[in-house]
C-alpha cells in the first residue's frame, strides 16, 4: 500500500516493533498513519482511536468492588490476572483497575494475594497461571480481577473444578456471547461492552480529515510510555459496564451479539429465567 502511495494507513497493531517499522516507512513516503485500537509504542502515528482503556479498567475494578460489597465480603482476598506484558492496552487496563482497588489494598481492606500477567493473552496459559494463584491462596479467594473475558472464563473454569464458580467475583471485557452468557450464569460478575462501530467511525473520520488536510476532532491525548514527551492526539470512546441480565439485553438490542449465540452458550433455560 505504501508503494501505491495511499493517502492514509490505518494500522491494527499486532506488535509495536513491526508496526513502528511500517509507520516509519509510511512517514518517509509522506503517508499519514492512524493507530487503531492499540497504540504503537515508539511509533509515529498522527492519531490514535480506541476506547478509553484506563476507563475500561476502572469499570472492571469498580465491578469487582461492587460484587464483593453485594456478597458482604468484609476482608476480600483477591488476585490480578493481567493481560500480556507486551501489550500497551493491558498496561492501561491494569492502570485503571488498580486505581480503583489499590487504595483498598493500602488501607488493609483488601489483600492482594498474587499479581500475574499472561503472555500473549493466551487463555490456556491464563488458566494454568490462575490455578497456581488459587493454590497460592489456599483456595481461599474472593475475587479475580481478570483483564478480559478469555482470561476470566479460563479462571472461571478452574473455579468450577473446585466448586467455587459463582462464589468468586470475576471480571472481564469484550461482551462476547460466551462472556455475556457467563454474566447470566454468574461465572463472571462483570464485563465491559465496547461499541466497536463507534471506533470504526472514529477512524474513518480521522482518515477523511487527514486526506482533506483539515484538523480532526479529537477528545484527548495518549502518552507513549517508551518515548519521553510523545503524546498522540486521540479519539477515546466511552466503554459500558455490564453486570446483569439488563446489561446483556442492552448489548443484544444493540445487535453487537445475537440472542441465539448468547443463549446457546448459556442454555435456553438460563436465558428464559433471566427474561431474555
- What CATH number does domain 53-194+240-273 carry, 1.20.200.10, 3.40.50.2300, 3.30.420.40, 3.40.50.620? 3.40.50.2300
Cβ atoms of 56 and 93 closer than 8 Å = yes
Give the model's pLDDT for residue 216: 85
What burial class does residue 200 get, using C-beta atoms within 10 Å of its C-beta: 0-12 exposed, 13-18 middle, 19+ buried? middle
Give the model's pLDDT for residue 195: 95
Domain limits, CATH 3.40.50.2300, in the chain: 8-52+195-237, 53-194+240-273
What Å distances lie between residue 115 and 97, 150, 157, 203, CA to CA? 12, 17, 19, 34
Give the model's pLDDT for residue 1: 83
Cβ atoms of 248 and 180 closer than 8 Å = yes
Intervals of the chain under pLDDT 50: none
Residue 119 DSSP code: G
Give the model's pLDDT for residue 55: 98
Fold classified for 8-52+195-237: Rossmann fold (3.40.50)
How do residues 249-258 score in pLDDT, each as one tens digit? 999 999 999 9
Question: Bridge-partner residues for 221, per DSSP?
Answer: 233
Phi-psi category of residue 85: left, alpha or beta, with phi > 0 → left and psi -120 to 50 → alpha? alpha
Amino acid at each position: 500500500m505504501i508503494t501505491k502511495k495511499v493517502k492514509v494507513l490505518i494500522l491494527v497493531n499486532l506488535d509495536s516493533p513491526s508496526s513502528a517499522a511500517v509507520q516509519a516507512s509510511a512517514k518517509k513516503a509522506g503517508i499519514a498513519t492512524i493507530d487503531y485500537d492499540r497504540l504503537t509504542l515508539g511509533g509515529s502515528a498522527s492519531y490514535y482511536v480506541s476506547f478509553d482503556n484506563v476507563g475500561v479498567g476502572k469499570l472492571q475494578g469498580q465491578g469487582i468492588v461492587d460484587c464483593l460489597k453485594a456478597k458482604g465480603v468484609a476482608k476480600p482476598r483477591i488476585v490480578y490476572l493481567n493481560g500480556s506484558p507486551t501489550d500497551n492496552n493491558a498496561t492501561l487496563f491494569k492502570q485503571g483497575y488498580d486505581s480503583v482497588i489499590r487504595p483498598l489494598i493500602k488501607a488493609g481492606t483488601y489483600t492482594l494475594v498474587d499479581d500475574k500477567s499472561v503472555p500473549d493473552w493466551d487463555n490456556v496459559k491464563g488458566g494454568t497461571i490462575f490455578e497456581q494463584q488459587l493454590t497460592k491462596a489456599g483456595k481461599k479467594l474472593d475475587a479475580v480481577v481478570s483483564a478480559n473475558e478469555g482470561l476470566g472464563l479460563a479462571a472461571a473454569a478452574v473455579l468450577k473444578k473446585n466448586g467455587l464458580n459463582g462464589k468468586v467475583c470475576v471480571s472481564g471485557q469484550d461482551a462476547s456471547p460466551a462472556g455475556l452468557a457467563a454474566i447470566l450464569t454468574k461465572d463472571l460478575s462483570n464485563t465491559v461492552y465496547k461499541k466497536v462501530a463507534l471506533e470504526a467511525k472514529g477512524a474513518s473520520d480521522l482518515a477523511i480529515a487527514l486526506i482533506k488536510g483539515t484538523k480532526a476532532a479529537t477528545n484527548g491525548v495518549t502518552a507513549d510510555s517508551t518515548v519521553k514527551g510523545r503524546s498522540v492526539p486521540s479519539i477515546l470512546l466511552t466503554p459500558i459496564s455490564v453486570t446483569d441480565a439488563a446489561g446483556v439485553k442492552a448489548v443484544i438490542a444493540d445487535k453487537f451479539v445475537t440472542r441465539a449465540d448468547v443463549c446457546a452458550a448459556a442454555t435456553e433455560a438460563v436465558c428464559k429465567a433471566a427474561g431474555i
